[in-house]
Amino acid sequence: MSARKANARWNGTLKEGAGSMNFSDYAGPYTYASRFEEGQGTNPEELIGAAHAGCYSMFLSALISAENLEPESVSTTATVHLGKDDVGPVISTIELNTEVICKDLTKEKFDELTKAAKEKCPVSRLVAAADIKLEAKLIS
């Protein structure tokens, strides 16, 4: 199996500092404000959301394909909620909202496969400590 690398560097104090997260040929600046407020830039939770949405979409596509169906598209948005517990900041909830276009996929099979993908995609398994919620829409 493959292994991928990403790196991050933070300079300065928590509130006044800034950093950059780098993966492949992309770099995203991040700050205290982009993570804990509504400031410009990215944050680790946004990147986890992107990873989760991508992984879920791909995994669901594979499950649909295994049913000898051809999904036209699987589009997923992941909303990652950063909360706080007695230890500190924590990812409390991830909301997956997916929309699938696939001819001949029944609603019953769709419900079964979307649930299986939520439980079995590698990123879902990694973030299983969070409450993962799923809203799924089938367009056939």
Per-residue pLDDT, averaged over 6-25, amounts to: 83
In the chain, the amino acid numbered 55 is C
In the predicted structure, residue 25 carries a pLDDT above the cut 80: no
H or E element at residue 47? helix 44-65
H or E element at residue 118? helix 107-120
In the predicted structure, residue 59 carries a pLDDT above the cut 90: yes
**Amino acid 86: pLDDT:** 96
| Positive/negative CA dihedral, 31, 8, 51, 134 | negative
Per-residue pLDDT, averaged over 37-51, amounts to: 90
Instruction: For the full predicted model, state whether its pTM sits above 0.75.
Output: yes
Looking at beta carbons, which pairs linking 85-88 to residues 24 or more positions away fall under 8 Å? none
In the predicted structure, residue 3 carries a pLDDT above the cut 90: no
Domains within the chain, CATH numbers bracketed: 8-36 (no CATH), 44-139 (3.30.300.20)
| Neighbouring C-beta atoms of residue 113, cutoff 10 Å | 25
Per-residue pLDDT, averaged over 74-92, amounts to: 94
